[in-house]
């Protein structure tokens, strides 16, 4: 077997005259008057190899048997191509290899889709043949980028005194949070491990354990119904520190992002990142993860129109709602259909309506214009900077809904108007999230982040008077409208934790039952600590300029949590379930008749034939 | 809150005169005539801090409230100690900090065991309070070493063009191998994911996918009954390459080990590592993972004693067995009891007996001596280098058993005689493992490594004539008698894979059923490839000089696969099982009456009270 001396894609004119051995896959071939040209591809790129009876008749004979995706080993001489045959599309386009010896290392069936970028292939087919999909340069580049990005995270954190610690995957089911994946225990009948939704408890315990600076590139699991940008298992870069303030954590993480973008895609990110309170993010951009690559701020016009003849404005304002406005500069030219579409657009985000006004030929037009008083028009003109050609949009609703509608409208208008620079990377921190949110169904306060999030010291007195106004020392890092990370400083003092549990309506006994060993740990000298977790899949997606998390994962699952390559999940044999002291029930019994388990044993739920 | 400007353990005389802020835990305190001395500990070490009314009366008053494991923040001046109070046991023993300000960041209950090295504490107690156990310098040092070791692996592999790729944790149950941990699917009733025993299939698919060089620090899972050195989840550094020969892989891995030992513990490992065939390892050392820190080779004396009057020698030899001998130099002085203990020692490894001869005062003594002919004694003397004071031990059995008995006896004698240099690191490769082993129960050949292991080219013809003699391109890396890694080159040619399946007794249909998608992948131009996996837990154990894998893992499980800290596994609530379309059965139903599930819902298997 002839094994490679060089890579296909990195040979240069420097090697002209040298004898090399290349290994790779046949990307394509063409015969010109008895001379065979093959594009040989490996991980690094493509090299043209030439079979000519003048070099070796035997090699040509063997080469002629090769088809696409055959694996070849060739030995030959690097030569400069005739300038008229230079291929400017290939980095190696000015040289080629004259084949003296060839070995077909392996044959290949015709692949179900061409192995090249930019080809339209059904994603299900790509996932079923992922091992072929991964041969496409774009996929290889993305996986390489992911590996590089992870390395940059590790190098930075290691350089800053963080210790990587592996925490368990087989852990305990917790009563709060999303749905756990469970793993039945064979040794302990009727008991279950849970796969971690995050290493949250363990990372805080490592701080109690005095490690001071911890990180982990951690696999996390959530058994939730999946959206396009979710995976049942995902990776986060999980970080926790002791004896640092929130500002120190945020500053350090900015340096981490700077290094990440510099060393993976060569982009310089300016620091410090903008910091926006949650309150301002919602009010100005209608989102807690605003895309700040463009301005187009939302304005609050409640004061201006609260006594308006526009009934909905007056009634919303009097019942504690808000009226939010967006000036879509230059959109007065929208068609009637586009304007009519604003109504269903608002409904999609829970809005009851969306009022609009166009300014054309100096005239305000639209259904509500006739109800506006001249002084309202003047005030709106001043507040919204109204000019000829503008489109004004209004949402009157509860703050959350109005913000959501206008935030999404802002994004739509920003995109439509081409305000977004696709090559820009705009980071910001959203800080001062509310500590507690009111659960209307349960009629109680719930933790917005988690029950161990530290409130601002100066807000502690609000536990008694106005829990909803308490600001948490919690922060999200946002990039181009995506939340790419988030974290908080944690409660470390017992009396604050007790206040928090009281606010959540947990008795000391309930708190003990829910968080037992964790609260015990906090009795033994817990240091002030806090941390953050970055969503690696999403960060890589943004670095690679892809639009889908699945493109960043070697073997992803579909929206129905299926691996189309291995066909997991799948039925198992009865004995496996017996070992685990469980059996199928409910829908599983109904569906098993349709399925067959692998191997020779009876599928689970169906007794084996007695011999 | 005063946050640290410096670490406790890294302050030096250079900082004398500087004002510093330290954060840490109270390791101990003593009052000398109204002056309070506290040893303040953080991750880096210990600093003596001094509270003196001359510096601050208020600080002293607060300091006096501190007890062991309280968390303090102190501000003060670094000063040189009075030379008579130098503490040579501390790196910081010539300086101290005069406290001007102190803040008790947190209090602590009295810990259940002292936070220091070398204290005898029941391991169960340590695991229950792992967050306190982790504060001990030895545990911190081990976790730091583990983090460092992992980083060295990554740096080396990254530097050699390997891409780290994450493979799924939620994957498919496979019919071969150890018992899988299963995860019921909520979305697909009656179907299950399995946690990976290793990323074997995925790493080979990445080679089919053209990645050429892959690695991953991979969590693996085996639901087996645990021995002292096993964990239900463990970590391996998983490596696979294309287009390299076995020798190239082994050479590269030697360089990796050299870098690992140099950069973690400063030890220079000489290369190349000794390479020993499996045949020689078994015959000379009675083990496929021999400890070569000492010699004491086992000899085969079958030819010398095959016609002996010693009945067992003759009968074993005539029935295809072997007689193995070990000369325990200088052990003729063993007591009668020690000699008698050889018999049960042999039994422990399946041996039927162990014959012995002592050479004292020039005389051969022992139960079998009278049956030995003079020419046999002469031949044994020559072969075994017999001298005054020696103890000769003999095992007559099937090769496997005799090797096992003598291999273990060799280790015992080596230890007893102090032949083992505890500071030595002796690596070796064991190569040329047999491809197939005969399963006496199933009456068929089984794969010794796995069914995709590549046989030596020159042994391919033995598939027909003598399958048991086929040598695999499989290798283990052994350090001081521990297998710390292993791997193989893989079959990549279809016709060889078919020969292998035939040898294993699989029809093409059975092979397809067992390995379906994997065999499909191999039809599309699979490159020659192979790899290795290192057991990270064990390597770290050896680097750290520990004797137990649990010491190398932050949150390990016990031998009964329990996490004593979180109390996992644990019962779950009925609704969780309903969501997963399973219910308890068998022993789980019997045991559930004894247990209560967390939260307010009814434990699984026990219907909630109807409202």
CB–CB of A575/A603 below 8 Å? no
CB–CB of A365/A358 below 8 Å? yes
Structure tokens at B325: 């001998």
Query: Partners of A396 in the beta sheet?
Result: A323
Out of 1.10.240.10, 3.30.1360.30, 3.20.20.70, 3.40.50.720, the CATH code matching B294-417 is 3.30.1360.30
Q: Tell whether the torsion through CA atoms of A439, A440, A444 and A445 is positive or negative.
A: positive
The predicted complex's ipTM stands at 0.93
Q: What is the pLDDT of residue B586?
A: 86
Top residue of A108, A161, A568 to mutate, by most chain B CBs within 10 Å, is A568
Q: What is the pLDDT of residue A119?
A: 86
Lowest mean pLDDT among A339-348, A452-461, A581-590: A581-590
Q: Which of A43, A243, A553 sits opposite B210 (nearest CB)?
A: A43
- Give the phi and the psi of residue A21 in degrees, each rounded to 5: -115, 130
Structure tokens at B111: 């810990």
Q: How far is the alpha carbon of B141 from chain A, nearest alpha carbon, in Å?
A: 10
Q: What is the mean pLDDT of chain B?
A: 93
Top residue of A243, A495, A536 to mutate, by most chain B CBs within 10 Å, is A243
Residues of A in contact with B190 (CB under 8 A): 571, 584, 587-589, 591-592, 595, 604-605
Largest CA distance in chain B: 93
pLDDT at B605 over 60: no
Q: Do you find a cis peptide bond into B518, omega within 30 degrees of 0?
A: no
CB contact under 8 A, A571 and B108: no
Residues of A in contact with B166 (CB under 8 A): 219, 235, 553-554
* DSSP 8-state symbol, B16: T
Q: How far is the alpha carbon of A577 from chain B, nearest alpha carbon, in Å?
A: 9
Residues in contact with B160: Cβ distance below 8 Å, sequence separation at least 6, in sequence order: B213, B252
Q: How many CB atoms lie within 10 A of CB B488?
A: 24
Residues of A in contact with B493 (CB under 8 A): 106
Pick from B356, B362, B372: which is nearest to B405 by CA? Answer: B356
CB contact under 8 A, B191 and A571: yes
pLDDT at A602 over 50: no
CB contact under 8 A, A190 and B525: no
In this prediction, residue B215 has a pLDDT band, given cuts at 50, 70 and 90, of: very high
Q: How far is the alpha carbon of A423 from chain B, nearest alpha carbon, in Å?
A: 27
Residues of A in contact with B599 (CB under 8 A): 175, 513-514
pLDDT at A597 over 60: no
Cβ burial of B513 (10 Å; 0-12, 13-18, 19+) is: middle
CB contact under 8 A, A190 and B587: yes
CB contact under 8 A, B524 and A111: yes
Q: Which of A143, A191, A567 sits opposite B517 (nearest CB)?
A: A567
CB contact under 8 A, A212 and B599: no
B550-567: per-residue pLDDT in tens? 999 999 999 899 999 999
B436-479: per-residue pLDDT in tens? 999 988 899 999 988 999 999 999 999 999 999 999 999 999 99
Pick from A440, A435, A429, A425: which is nearest to A539 by CA? Answer: A425
Q: How far is CA B101 from the centre of its chain?
A: 47
Residues in contact with A408: Cβ distance below 8 Å, sequence separation at least 6, in sequence order: A286, A345, A348, A349
Q: How far is the alpha carbon of A91 from chain B, nearest alpha carbon, in Å?
A: 20
CB contact under 8 A, B570 and A131: no
Structure tokens at A530: 């806090």
pLDDT at A152 over 90: yes
CB contact under 8 A, B580 and A182: yes
Q: What is the pLDDT of residue A598?
A: 43
A10-66: per-residue pLDDT in tens? 999 999 999 999 999 999 999 999 999 999 999 999 999 999 999 999 999 999 999
* Global confidence as pTM: 0.94
Q: Which of B107, B150, B190 sits opposite A584 (nearest CB)?
A: B190
CATH superfamily of B13-106: Nucleic acid-binding proteins (2.40.50.140)
Binding site residue list of B for ATP: 222-224, 231, 483, 535-538
In this prediction, residue A225 has a pLDDT band, given cuts at 50, 70 and 90, of: confident
Residues of B in contact with A555 (CB under 8 A): 167-168, 202, 205
Q: Tell whether the torsion through CA atoms of B369, B375, B381 and B383 is positive or negative.
A: negative
CB contact under 8 A, B566 and A517: yes
CB–CB of B444/B319 below 8 Å? no
Q: How far is the alpha carbon of B296 from chain A, nearest alpha carbon, in Å?
A: 40
Return the SS3 of A25. strand
Q: How far is the alpha carbon of A138 from chain B, nearest alpha carbon, in Å?
A: 12
CB contact under 8 A, B581 and A588: yes
Distance between CA A20 and CA A39 in Å, rounded?
16
Distance between CA A487 and CA B122 in Å, rounded?
36
Query: Partners of A194 in the beta sheet?
Result: A171, A182
B73-106: per-residue pLDDT in tens? 999 999 999 999 899 988 999 999 999 999 999 9
Residues in contact with A136: Cβ distance below 8 Å, sequence separation at least 6, in sequence order: A115, A116, A117
In this prediction, residue B597 has a pLDDT band, given cuts at 50, 70 and 90, of: very low
In this prediction, residue A608 has a pLDDT band, given cuts at 50, 70 and 90, of: very low
pLDDT at B367 over 50: yes
B24-35: per-residue pLDDT in tens? 999 999 999 999
Q: Which of A25, A131, A187 sits opposite B561 (nearest CB)?
A: A187
Q: Which residue of A has its CA nearest to B564?
A: A517
CB contact under 8 A, A566 and B528: no
Q: How many CB atoms lie within 10 A of CB B22?
A: 24
A497-519: per-residue pLDDT in tens? 999 999 999 888 888 887 888 88
* DSSP 8-state symbol, B353: -
Structural domain boundaries in chain B: 13-106, 294-417
In this prediction, residue B178 has a pLDDT band, given cuts at 50, 70 and 90, of: confident
Segment A81-95 shows an average pLDDT of: 92
Q: How far is the alpha carbon of B3 from chain A, nearest alpha carbon, in Å?
A: 6
Q: What is the pLDDT of residue A175?
A: 67
A375-413: per-residue pLDDT in tens? 999 999 999 999 999 999 999 999 999 999 999 999 999
Structure tokens at A367: 């259904």
CB contact under 8 A, B169 and A219: yes
CB contact under 8 A, B569 and A188: yes
Q: How far is the alpha carbon of A404 from chain B, nearest alpha carbon, in Å?
A: 31
Q: How far is the alpha carbon of A311 from chain B, nearest alpha carbon, in Å?
A: 45
Lowest mean pLDDT among A343-352, B72-81, B476-485, B513-522: B513-522
Q: Which of A191, A212, A557 sits opposite B42 (nearest CB)?
A: A212
Q: Which of B71, B243, B557 sits opposite A3 (nearest CB)?
A: B243
Sheet containing A163-164: which strands, arranged edge to edge?
A163-164, A213-221, A233-242, A529-535, A482-489, A474-479, A427-431, A274-277
Q: Which of B108, B553, B583 sits opposite A583 (nearest CB)?
A: B583
CB contact under 8 A, A525 and B580: no
In this prediction, residue A592 has a pLDDT band, given cuts at 50, 70 and 90, of: low
Q: Which of B180, B513, B582 sits opposite A585 (nearest CB)?
A: B582
Q: What is the pLDDT of residue B208?
A: 97
CB–CB of A556/A127 below 8 Å? yes
Q: What is the pLDDT of residue B508?
A: 87
Distance between CA A381 and CA A393 in Å, rounded?
13
Segment B67-72 shows an average pLDDT of: 98
Q: What is the pLDDT of residue A595?
A: 53
Distance between CA A42 and CA A97 in Å, rounded?
15
Q: Which of A134, A205, A527 sits opposite B209 (nearest CB)?
A: A134
Instruction: Give A289's Cβ-side CA count (13 Å radius).
Output: 11
Q: How many CB atoms lie within 10 A of CB A344?
A: 9
Distance between CA B401 and CA B322 in Å, rounded?
10
CB contact under 8 A, B219 and A135: no
Query: Partners of A72 in the beta sheet?
Result: A24, A104
Q: What is the pLDDT of residue A513?
A: 80
CA dist A439 → A445, A448, A504 (Å): 6, 10, 10
pLDDT at B50 over 90: yes
CB contact under 8 A, B585 and A581: yes
B13-106 and B294-417 have identical folds: no
Q: What is the mean pLDDT of chain A?
A: 93
CB contact under 8 A, A190 and B599: no
Q: What is the pLDDT of residue A599?
A: 41
CB contact under 8 A, B514 and A598: yes
Pick from A305, A307, A345: which is nearest to A328 by CA? Answer: A345
Q: How many CB atoms lie within 10 A of CB B547?
A: 10
CB pairs under 8 A between A and B: 403
CA dist A125 → A68, A562, B430, B444 (Å): 19, 13, 43, 38
Top residue of A150, A163, A549, A569 to mutate, by most chain B CBs within 10 Å, is A569
Q: What is the pLDDT of residue A590?
A: 77
Instruction: Give B44's Cβ-side CA count (13 Å radius).
Output: 16
Q: How far is the alpha carbon of A210 from chain B, nearest alpha carbon, in Å?
A: 5
Structure tokens at B150: 């992992």
Binding site residue list of A for ATP: 222-224, 231, 483, 535-538
Q: How far is CA A108 from the centre of its chain?
A: 35
CA dist A438 → A434, A457, A469, A504, B38 (Å): 11, 21, 11, 10, 46
The pLDDT > 90 percentage for chain B reads: 86
In this prediction, residue B230 has a pLDDT band, given cuts at 50, 70 and 90, of: confident
Return the SS3 of A26. strand
Distance between CA B312 and CA A144 in Å, rounded?
63
- Give the phi and the psi of residue B538 in degrees, each rounded to 5: -70, -40
A276-285: per-residue pLDDT in tens? 999 999 999 9
Cα-trace Rg, chain B: 31
């Amino acid at each position: 077997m002839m094994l490679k001396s060089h890579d296909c894609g990195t040979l240069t004119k420097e090697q002209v005259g040298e004898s090399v051995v290349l290994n790779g896959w046949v990307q394509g071939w063409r015969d010109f008057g008895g001379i065979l040209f093959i594009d040989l591809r490996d991980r690094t790129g493509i090299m043209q190899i030439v079979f000519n009876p003048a070099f070796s008749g035997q090699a040509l004979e063997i080469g002629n048997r090769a088809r696409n995706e055959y694996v070849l080993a060739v030995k030959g001489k690097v030569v400069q191509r005739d300038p008229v045959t230079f291929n400017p599309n290939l980095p190696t386009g000015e040289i080629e290899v004259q084949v003296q010896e060839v070995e077909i290392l392996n044959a290949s069936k015709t692949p179900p889709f061409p192995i090249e970028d930019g080809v339209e292939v059904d994603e299900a087919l790509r996932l079923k043949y992922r091992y072929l999909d991964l041969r496409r340069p774009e996929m290889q580049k993305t996986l390489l980028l992911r590996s590089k990005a992870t390395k940059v995270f590790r190098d930075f954190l290691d350089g800053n005194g963080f210790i990587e610690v592996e925490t368990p995957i087989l852990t305990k089911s917790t009563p709060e949070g999303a749905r756990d994946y469970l793993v039945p225990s064979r040794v302990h009948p009727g008991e279950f491990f849970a796969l971690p939704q995050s290493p949250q408890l363990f990372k805080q315990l490592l701080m109690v354990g005095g490690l001071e600076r911890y990180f982990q590139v951690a696999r996390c699991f959530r058994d939730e119904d999946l959206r396009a940008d979710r995976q049942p298992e995902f990776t986060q870069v999980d970080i926790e520190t002791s004896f640092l303030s929130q500002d120190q954590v945020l500053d350090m993480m900015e340096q981490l992002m700077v290094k990440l973008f510099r060393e993976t895609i060569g982009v310089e990110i300016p620091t410090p990142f903008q910091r926006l309170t949650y309150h301002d993010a919602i009010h100005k951009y209608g989102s807690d993860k605003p895309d700040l690559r463009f301005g187009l701020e939302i304005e609050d016009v409640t004061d201006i129109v609260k006594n308006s003849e526009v009934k909905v404005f007056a009634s919303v304002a009097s019942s504690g709602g808000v009226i939010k406005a967006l000036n879509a500069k230059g959109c007065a030219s929208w068609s009637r259909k586009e304007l009519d579409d604003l109504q269903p657009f608002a409904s999609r985000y829970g809005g009851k309506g969306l009022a609009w006004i166009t300014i054309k030929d100096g005239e305000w037009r639209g259904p509500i214009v006739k109800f506006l008083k001249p002084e309202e028009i003047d005030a709106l003109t001043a507040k919204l900077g109204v000019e000829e050609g503008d489109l004004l949009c209004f949402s009157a609703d509860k703050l959350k809904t109005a913000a959501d509608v206008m935030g999404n409208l802002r994004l739509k208008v920003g995109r439509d108007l081409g305000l977004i620079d696709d090559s820009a990377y705009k980071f910001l921190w959203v800080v001062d999230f509310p500590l507690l949110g009111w659960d209307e169904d349960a009629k109680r306060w719930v933790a917005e982040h988690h029950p161990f999030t530290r409130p601002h010291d100066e807000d502690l007195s609000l536990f008694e008077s106005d829990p909803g106004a308490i600001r948490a020392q919690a922060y999200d890092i946002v990039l181009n409208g995506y939340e790419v990370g988030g974290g908080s400083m944690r409660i470390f003092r017992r009396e604050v934790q007790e206040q928090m549990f009281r606010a959540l309506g947990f008795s000391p006994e309930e708190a003990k039952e829910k968080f037992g060993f964790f609260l015990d740990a906090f009795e033994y000298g817990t240091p002030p600590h806090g941390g953050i977790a970055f969503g690696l899949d999403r960060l890589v997606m943004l670095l690679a300029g892809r639009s889908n998390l699945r493109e960043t994962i070697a073997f992803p699952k579909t929206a129905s949590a299926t691996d189309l390559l291995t066909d997991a999940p799948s039925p198992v044999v009865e004995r496996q379930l017996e070992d685990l002291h469980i059996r199928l029930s409910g829908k599983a019994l109904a569906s098993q008749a349709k399925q067959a388990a692998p191997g020779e044993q009876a599928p689970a739920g169906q007794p084996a034939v007695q011999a």
